[in-house]
Amino acid sequence: INKICLDSDESYEGVSEASFKDALVFDSSSQKNNGSVLQENGIKKHRTSLPAPMFSRNTISIWSILKKCIGLELSKITMPIAFNEPLSFLQRITEYMEHTYLINRACSLSDSIERMQAVAAFAVSAVASQWDRTGKPFNPLLGETYELTREEQGFRLVSEQVSHHPPVSAFHAESLTGDFVFHGSIYPKLKFWGKSVEAEPKGTITLELLKHSETYTWSNPYCCVHNIILGKLWIEQYGTVEIVNHSTGDKCVLNFKPCGMFGKELHKVEGYIQDKSKKKLCVIYGKWTECMWSVDPQAYETHKKSEKKDNKKQKNEELEGAENDDADDMPEVQETVSVIPGSTLLWRIDSRPPQSAVMYNFTNFAMCLNELEHGMEAVLAPTDCRFRPDIRAMENGDIDLASKEKERLEEKQRAARKERAKNDEEWSTRWFQLGTNPYTGSQDWIYSGGYFNRNYQDLPDIY
C-alpha cells in the first residue's frame, strides 16, 4: 500500500484536548457528478454510482499504523488515505440538504405545530446519511469552496472553508423560490477516547422560513466512531438537540439516545414540541437511521406504560451479560421502530443504492456530490472541491495518486501560510464574513452574497 503519511499540517496547533487530528471526522454532508444527462423533461439525471469501487481496508490494520506512532503526539497522526471517503468535509455538510423536501413541506404548512414537526424531521434527516459512514471526509483546504444547485429540489448552496486552525466550514443555502434560507458554520471538535473518536458538533444551524417570518436554530448531536483501533467500526450519535422558534420561544427538544450497554436504545431519537408555557403539544419519536413519527402526548404515555411492564422481565436476564474489554461492539439489537397507534409519519429514510456497500456506504445523494457534470468546469469557482485532485483520484480508485496529491496539497497550503506569515499578511475569506448570528447572539460566519455572480477574480490558487 501507499505511504502512511504522518504530516503535521492538519494537526491543531497547541492541542489540548485531543484531536486525533484528522482522525475520522464525521459530522455530516455532501453531493453529485460525472456523466449526467439531460432527460426529455429537462430534469438532469445524476449518476447513481462512483467511477470505481472502494479500496478494501481489510488489508490495512490501523493498529499496525498506530504502533509506529507510539511516542508521537496524537495530533500528529494522519490516518492512511484508505480510511477516507472521496468527499471533502464541505461536500459532507451539503448532505444536510438531502431531504430538502421537508423544508419545502414546512414552508407550505399553515399550522405552526405541523411546521415545527417538519423542521424537526428535517433536523434528524440531516444527520441520517452518517449511518454506516465510517470513512473520514478530506479536510477542506483554507479557501476551498463547494456549490450545489438542485433545481428539482429547489435550492442552491455555497460553502467555504473559512478557517484552518481550528477548521471551520461555513455554508449558506437558499430556496430558488425565495421560501427559505438555511445556513451555519460547523467546527467539529474531536476528542480521542482510546477506543473511539468523538466529534462535538460545535456551531449553530439556522433555518429561516421567510414567508412565515419564522427562524429556527439548533446544533447537531454528538457523533462517535467506535473501535478505531480494534474491532468493527460503527457510528453512534447522541445528545440533545433543541430546535428553538425564535419568534415565540417555542421549542422542540430531541434526545438522540446513547445506545446503552445492551443496545436497546441504539439509534433512537425521542422528544417533544412544547409551547412557551412548557406544555407538551406533541411527542416525536423514531430512529435517525429509519423514520420519525409524531403522536399525541397522551397516546404516547399510555403506550409507554404498557411497554414498561414487558421490559421489566427482560432486564433481569440482560444484567447477566458480560462486558467486552477488547472492542465496544455494536449491539446486535436491530428491532425497528414500533409504531404507536395514531402516529403520523414525518419522514422515512430512502434505501441506499445497490453499489453503496462497496462505495463507502454512500446514499444516492452522496454518490453525486463530486460529480463533474457536463459544462460545469467552465462555471465552477476554481476553488471548488470537485477540482481537488486527491479526492478525484480516490474516487477513480487510484489510491497512490490520491495519497501523493493529498500530500502535495497540504505542503502547498503550508508553504502559502509561511509566505503570508513572512509578509505579515492576514488570510481573508471570500464569501463569508465573521459576524454575529442575530438570533442566538453567538459568533457565526455570515454569507456576504454574490457567489453566484461568478466573479472569481483574485481567488487563491489552492490546488
Ligand X SMILES: *[C@@H]1O[C@H](CO)[C@@H](O)[C@H](O)[C@H]1NC(C)=O
Tell me which residues touch ligand X (CB under 6 A).
112-113, 115-116, 132-135, 214, 233, 245, 247-248, 250, 360-361
Which residue type occupies 408?
R
Spatial distance between the Cα atoms of 2 and 270, rounded to a whole number of angstroms = 44
Assess contact for 154 and 100: CB atoms under 8 A: yes
Residue 361 CB, nearest distance to ligand X (Å)?
A: 4
Q: Closest separation between CB of residue 22 and ligand X, Å?
A: 16
Q: How far is CA 413 from CA 272, 403, 406, in A?
A: 46, 16, 11
Minimum Å gap between C-beta 154 and ligand X is 22
- What number of residues does the chain have? 463
Question: Which residue number, 163 or 355, has a Cβ lying nearer to ligand X?
Answer: 355
In angstroms, how far apart are the furthest CA atoms of the chain?
71
- The smaller minimum CB distance to ligand X, of residues 237 and 383, is found at 237
C-alpha–C-alpha distance, residues 331 and 209, integer Å = 39
310 CB-near residues (< 8 Å, 6+ apart): none
Question: For residue 98, what are the contacts with CB-CB under 8 A and spacing of at least 6?
Answer: 125, 126, 128, 129, 363, 365
| Cβ closest to ligand X, residue 168 vs residue 266 | 266
Q: How far is the CB of 384 from ligand X (least distance, A)?
A: 25
d(C-alpha 381, C-alpha 386), whole Å: 10
Q: Considering the complex, what minimum distance in angstroms separates the CB of residue 307 from ligand X? A: 28
Cell digits of residue 5: 503519511
The least distance separating ligand X from the CB of residue 104, rounded to whole angstroms, comes to 16
Question: For residue 28, what is its C-alpha cell?
Answer: 455530516
Q: In the complex with ligand X, which residue's Cβ is closer, 118 or 269? A: 118
**Can you read off the three cell numbers belonging to residue 91?**
461536500
Nearer to ligand X, 139 or 161 (CB): 139
Q: Tell me whether residue 198 or residue 214 sits nearer to ligand X (CB atom).
A: 214
Residues with Cβ within 8 Å of residue 388, at least 6 apart in sequence? 88, 138, 141, 144, 405, 409, 463
Instruction: Give the whole-angstrom CA distance, residue 409 versus residue 77.
Output: 17
Q: Cα dihedral angle (169, 149, 154, 131), rounded to 10 degrees? A: -50
Q: 27 or 373, CB closer to ligand X?
A: 27
CB of 57 to ligand X, least distance (A): 7
CB-nearer residue toward ligand X: 279 or 408? 279
Instruction: Please give the grid coordinates belonging to residue 151.
Output: 433545481
CB of 80 to ligand X, least distance (A): 14
Indicate the residue among 77 and 106 with the shorter CB distance to ligand X: 106
Q: How far is the CB of 84 from ligand X (least distance, A)?
A: 10
- β-bridge mates for residue 238, sequence order: 222
